[in-house]
Amino acid sequence: MAELDKREAKSEIDRLREELRYHEYKYYVEDNPEISDSEYDELMNRLIELEEEFPEFKSEDSPSARVGGRPIDAFEKVEHSQQMLSLDNAFNGEDLKDFASRVEKNLAAGTEYDYIVEHKIDGLALIIRYENGSLKLALTRGDGQVGENVTANVKTIAAIPLKLNRELDIELRGEVYIPEDRFKELNEKRLDAGQEPFANPRNAAAGSIRQLDPKIAAERPLSFLAYDIINLEAGEQVKTHLDELELLEEAGFKVGWYQQERSVERIIEICNNWIEKEEELNYGIDGMVIKLNQLELREELGSTSKAPRWAIAYKFPAQQKTTFVKDIIISIGRTGALTPTAILEPVEVDGSTVSRATLHNEDEIRRKDVRIGDKVLIQKAGDIIPEVVKVIKDVRTGDEQEFIMPDSCPACGSEVFKDPDEAVHRCLNVGCPAKLREKIIHFASRDAMNIDGLGPSIIDKLLEAELISDFGDLYYLEHGELADLERLGDKSAQNLLDALKRSKERPFDRVIYALGIRHVGSRTASLVTEEFSSIDELKDARIQDLSAINEVGEVIAESIVNFFANDENLEVINKLADAGIKMRLEEDKDEVKEIFSGMNFVLTGSLDNYTRKEAKEIIEDRGGRVTSAVSSKTDILLVGANPGSKLGQAEENNVRIIDETEFENILKEV
Ligand SMILES: NC(=O)c1ccc[n+]([C@@H]2O[C@H](COP(=O)([O-])OP(=O)(O)OC[C@H]3O[C@@H](n4cnc5c(N)ncnc54)[C@H](O)[C@@H]3O)[C@@H](O)[C@H]2O)c1
Ligand SMILES: [Zn+2]
């Protein structure tokens, strides 16, 4: 950034402060932000930078020096017994190291201490006061000095005891949140009712707690995790944060996952591990909080006007950003579904550039009211295709254009149909080139036939040159015609032929998956081929036979029967069979004994020698099942390093817990 002179700096600082105040109002008062948290953080960081560089412009009422938002008038305002601060942020490992060395420097040499690492729950802070074990008062943080009295609403939350297990005088702090799955449901309901969806669970929790009518709060799926004790009656032996968490649990609160740790390197590792494992939790986290464990030492460090010096929030990479919709186009899937896709002004989200987001279907576009030209909040979650969370309607100019679903297929021109029971529009033309292309892409994909080097661009060339008209033709391609394809050449042609040859080794269940039968994913394919172990048996299977298979319902069964009733499909299958593709299950599958037959597994943490997927395959090959959540039906929990909350749940449910070594020993025994 170019150096600013004083005047420029002052006006930039003023502009940033004004902008931040505006967004704080939207966020804290209206619970309806116009920019993503990471964009807000960027503005804030820029302001802090400038204020450091030009300390003469520092000010007590700058957003950088203040906590949260002003309480709204609708609620009784109550002064906090102690100032309720925010947390300083770390965005990477370096920031965490800086924090740790500041702590080290400010404590007397040789002082013994360690940290507690916790989840940063994506919700709203609540301060709750109990007298003699009875809930007396619940406040929001407000501006840190004064909070809003939301006791009536808080009493509707089942996870917050009205009476503690012990008759304590205690004031505590925790996070009210909405579980992830319930958050999705809540937003869907709001969209259906023509209301604006919430940008994130935090805004949803805040919007629910700050309802004037407790009935509305009661209907919202709110929950609560406690994480700090603020005041405690004299005589309780609480010296560390660990003691606090234990006391909170004893009193009847849920507390989130936590771990005691001394080394910063290890803490960084723990934090980064949780970025991957976040989806295992039933509460949303937007980072981790690292707190000095020894309460006495916290007092030595003290705090700034905004945040304590003994704690820091490590923020996960942003998953949300705002951008503009440049256009809405239609892409056609292998089942003929027309999927509207938003073409976006490219933005960086979590390290990669996002230029498209799925809009799912026409109903979804109507519900979210997405128009061409709109400013939108988009979100990336794991490997999932980015999606539009909501439209920022306040900034509409009136020039935005509504999207109209075409009534003919953009690829082949045939009429488009919509089943009244379904949200999607479909092109039903069996010869539609767009569908064909997607089918071949699926056929060649990793979990299907895994044909190395056969990507979309080569498939396009093959189709253009009319060398193939279905995926059965792939196995009859000749070296000469391939090498002649635009820019392919001898070597690549040979590589492709080799890859095709290798793909003939794929087992029968993967062949069935590769056929792209609607509703038949890889798991269904393997279930079905266990019962119907050759193509001839499968062809003759009736709906009632198929739906008798566990986990195979009517819809899947019907889809399979319809597939084999179609002559064109049978013709392709014949081509594949003639080319030597496996059309029956091979015996060698039975060589592994079904030692886990009928057993339900849950996995948590990371294993040294297997990926999740590999471990799952090993278990399933041996007759076991892997589910994602611990329940009373779970037989075994396989634990790796840095396990999630499932470990605790398994202990509660008396589930057998094994580690990787034990797992390998069991495999070796047989
Ligand atoms: N999008 C916008 O327009 C906008 C506007 C204002 C603020 N914001 C967001 O809000 C943030 C500032 O909010 P903030 O002051 O609440 O700070 P924060 O979210 O950065 O961190 C402090 C909060 O973390 C929560 N928390 C969760 N788990 C915790 C745990 N285990 N221990 C302690 N605290 C825990 C508490 O509610 C606490 O108040 C900004 O960084 C920004 O991301 C966004
Ligand atoms: Zn078509």
Mutate to test the pocket of ligand 1, among 32, 36, 120 (most ligand atoms within 8 A of CB): 120
Question: How much distance in Å is there from the Cα of 453 to the middle of ligand 2?
Answer: 26
Contact 342, 391 (CB under 8 A): no
Pick the atom of ligand 1 nearest to 34's CA: 3
291 token code pair: 């707190």
Which residue has the least CA distance to atom 8 on ligand 1? Answer: 37
Residues framing ligand 1 (Cβ under 6 A):
23-24, 26-27, 33, 35-37, 40-41, 68, 86-87, 89, 118-121, 125, 141, 175, 227, 289, 313
Mutate to test the pocket of ligand 1, among 32, 70, 289 (most ligand atoms within 8 A of CB): 289
For residues 569 and 437, membership in a common domain is answered with yes
Q: What is the dihedral of CA 448, 451, 455, 461, to 10 degrees?
A: -120
DSSP result, 37-88: HHHHHHHHHHHHHHHHH-GGG--TTSGGG--S-PPPTTS-EEE-SS------
pLDDT band for 377, please (50, 70, 90 cuts).
very high
Q: Cβ of 279: how many Cβ atoms within 10 Å? A: 12
pLDDT band for 591, please (50, 70, 90 cuts).
low
Question: How much distance in Å is there from the Cα of 315 to the middle of ligand 1?
Answer: 10
Pick the atom of ligand 1 nearest to 39's CA: 1
Question: How much distance in Å is there from the Cα of 435 to the middle of ligand 2?
Answer: 7
For the CA of 337, the nearest ligand? 2
Q: Cβ of 393: how many Cβ atoms within 10 Å? A: 14
What is the mean predicted confidence (pLDDT) over 333-340?
90
Q: Which CATH number goes with the domain that contains 364?
A: 2.40.50.140
410 token code pair: 């953009």
Question: How much distance in Å is there from the Cα of 329 to the middle of ligand 2?
Answer: 14
Kindly report, residue by residue over 209-235, the tens digit of the pLDDT. Answer: 998 889 999 999 999 999 999 999 988
Pick the atom of ligand 1 nearest to 85's CA: 39
Which residue has the least CA distance to atom 31 on ligand 1? Answer: 120
pLDDT at 635: 92
Judged against a pLDDT cut of 60, whether residue 1 lies above it is answered with no
Which range has highest mean pLDDT (63-72, 623-632, 651-660)?
Answer: 651-660
Say if 400 falls within a structural domain. Answer: no
Say if 411 falls within a structural domain. Answer: no
Say if 70 falls within a structural domain. Answer: no
Question: How much distance in Å is there from the Cα of 644 to the middle of ligand 2?
Answer: 46
Contact 633, 625 (CB under 8 A): no
Judged against a pLDDT cut of 70, whether residue 431 lies above it is answered with yes
Q: Which CATH number goes with the domain that contains 490?
A: 1.10.150.20
Mutate to test the pocket of ligand 1, among 175, 198, 303, 322 (most ligand atoms within 8 A of CB): 175
CB under 8 Å to 566, separation ≥6 — which residues? 430
Mutate to test the pocket of ligand 1, among 87, 91, 118 (most ligand atoms within 8 A of CB): 87
The interface pTM score, or ipTM, of the predicted complex is 0.95
For residues 206 and 137, membership in a common domain is answered with yes
Judged against a pLDDT cut of 70, whether residue 140 lies above it is answered with yes
Kindly report, residue by residue over 79-109, the tens digit of the pLDDT. Answer: 999 999 999 999 999 999 999 999 999 999 9
For the CA of 147, the nearest ligand? 1
What is the mean predicted confidence (pLDDT) over 355-377?
94
Range of the domain at 370: 320-394+420-426
For residues 575 and 604, membership in a common domain is answered with no
Q: Would you say 37 is a known binding-site residue?
A: yes
Q: How far apart are CA 127 and CA 147, in angstroms?
A: 9
Say if 356 falls within a structural domain. Answer: yes
For the CA of 118, the nearest ligand? 1
Contact 77, 142 (CB under 8 A): yes
Question: How much distance in Å is there from the Cα of 340 to the middle of ligand 2?
Answer: 14
Say if 404 falls within a structural domain. Answer: no
For residues 388 and 439, membership in a common domain is answered with no
What is the mean predicted confidence (pLDDT) over 359-375?
94
Domain termination residue (choose one: 588, 618, 643): 588
For residues 92 and 137, membership in a common domain is answered with yes
For residues 179 and 260, membership in a common domain is answered with yes
Q: Which CATH number goes with the domain that contains 293?
A: 3.30.470.30
Residue 368's identity, in one-letter code, is K
For residues 618 and 576, membership in a common domain is answered with no
Judged against a pLDDT cut of 70, whether residue 589 lies above it is answered with no
Q: Among 530, 492, 507, 470, which Cα is nearest to 334's?
A: 470
CA 74 to chain centre: 35
| Long-range contacts at 627-630 (CB < 8 A, ≥ 24 apart) | 627/600, 627/601, 627/602, 628/280, 628/602, 629/602, 630/602, 630/655
Say if 72 falls within a structural domain. Answer: no
pLDDT at 151: 96
For the CA of 436, the nearest ligand? 2
CB under 8 Å to 258, separation ≥6 — which residues? 116, 117, 118, 119, 245
Judged against a pLDDT cut of 80, whether residue 434 lies above it is answered with yes
- The pLDDT > 90 percentage for the chain reads 73
Angstrom distances, CA of residue 198 to CA of 34, 178, 182, 380, 537: 11, 11, 12, 16, 50
Q: How far apart are CA 605 and CA 181, in angstroms?
A: 21
For residues 515 and 471, membership in a common domain is answered with yes
For residues 255 and 382, membership in a common domain is answered with no
Q: How far apart are CA 606 and CA 639, in angstroms?
A: 8
pLDDT at 9: 94
Q: How far apart are CA 627 and CA 632, in angstroms?
A: 12
Q: How far apart are CA 494 and CA 431, in angstroms?
A: 29
Judged against a pLDDT cut of 90, whether residue 622 lies above it is answered with no
Judged against a pLDDT cut of 70, whether residue 588 lies above it is answered with no
Number of domains within the chain: 5
Question: How much distance in Å is there from the Cα of 76 to the middle of ligand 1?
Answer: 23
HSE, CB side, 13 Å, CA atoms: give it for residue 240: 12
Kindly report, residue by residue over 143-197, the tens digit of the pLDDT. Answer: 999 999 999 999 999 999 999 999 999 999 999 999 988 998 999 999 888 888 9
Which residue has the least CA distance to atom 30 on ligand 1? Answer: 120
Active site residues: 120
Q: Would you say 463 is a known binding-site residue?
A: no
HSE, CB side, 13 Å, CA atoms: give it for residue 653: 19
Pick the atom of ligand 1 nearest to 119's CA: 31
Q: Would you say 115 is a known binding-site residue?
A: no
Pick the atom of ligand 1 nearest to 67's CA: 15
Cα separation of the two ends of the chain: 65
Contact 288, 271 (CB under 8 A): yes
pLDDT band for 277, please (50, 70, 90 cuts).
confident
Pick the atom of ligand 1 nearest to 141's CA: 39
What is the DSSP-derived secondary structure letter of residue 110?
Answer: T
Q: Taking all residues of the chain, what is their mean pLDDT, rounded to a whole number?
A: 92
pLDDT at 280: 83
Q: Cβ of 384: how many Cβ atoms within 10 Å? A: 9
Say if 560 falls within a structural domain. Answer: yes
Kindly report, residue by residue over 543-567, the tens digit of the pLDDT. Answer: 999 999 988 999 999 999 999 999 9
Say if residue 665 is exposed, middle or buried (CB neighbours under 10 Å; 0-12, 13-18, 19+): exposed
Residue 531's identity, in one-letter code, is E
What is the mean predicted confidence (pLDDT) over 420-438?
89
For the CA of 330, the nearest ligand? 2
Judged against a pLDDT cut of 60, whether residue 535 lies above it is answered with yes
For residues 574 and 612, membership in a common domain is answered with no
pLDDT at 619: 92
628-647: string of b/e by CB count within 10 Å (b at 16+)? eebeeebebbbbbebbbbbb
Q: How far apart are CA 75 and CA 576, in angstroms?
A: 71
Say if 409 falls within a structural domain. Answer: no
> Where does 158-317 have alpha helices with state H?
180-192, 201-209, 214-219, 241-251, 264-277, 295-301
529 token code pair: 């081929």
For residues 530 and 554, membership in a common domain is answered with yes
Pick the atom of ligand 1 nearest to 84's CA: 39
Kindly report, residue by residue over 514-531, the tens digit of the pLDDT. Answer: 999 999 999 999 999 999
Kindly report, residue by residue over 38-79, the tens digit of the pLDDT. Answer: 899 999 999 999 999 999 999 988 999 888 888 888 899 999
pLDDT at 282: 85
pLDDT at 48: 94
Domain termination residue (choose one: 404, 426, 448): 426
SS3 174: strand
Mutate to test the pocket of ligand 1, among 34, 43, 86 (most ligand atoms within 8 A of CB): 86
Q: Would you say 118 is a known binding-site residue?
A: yes
For residues 45 and 84, membership in a common domain is answered with no
Q: For ligand 2, a single-atom ion, which residues have Cβ within 5 Å? A: 409, 411-412, 427, 429, 432
Question: How much distance in Å is there from the Cα of 431 to the middle of ligand 2?
Answer: 8
Domain termination residue (choose one: 588, 622, 654): 588
pLDDT at 620: 86
Question: How much distance in Å is there from the Cα of 251 to the middle of ligand 1?
Answer: 26
pLDDT at 496: 94
Q: Would you say 291 is a known binding-site residue?
A: yes
Kindly report, residue by residue over 445-463, the tens digit of the pLDDT. Answer: 988 999 988 999 999 999 9
pLDDT at 590: 54
Which residue has the least CA distance to atom 17 on ligand 1? Answer: 86
pTM for the predicted model, two decimal places: 0.71
Q: How far apart are CA 399 and CA 343, in angstroms?
A: 17
Q: Among 337, 322, 277, which Cα is nearest to 643's?
A: 277
Which range has highest mean pLDDT (145-159, 265-279, 587-601)?
Answer: 145-159
Judged against a pLDDT cut of 80, whether residue 669 lies above it is answered with no
Q: Which CATH number goes with the domain that contains 637?
A: 3.40.50.10190
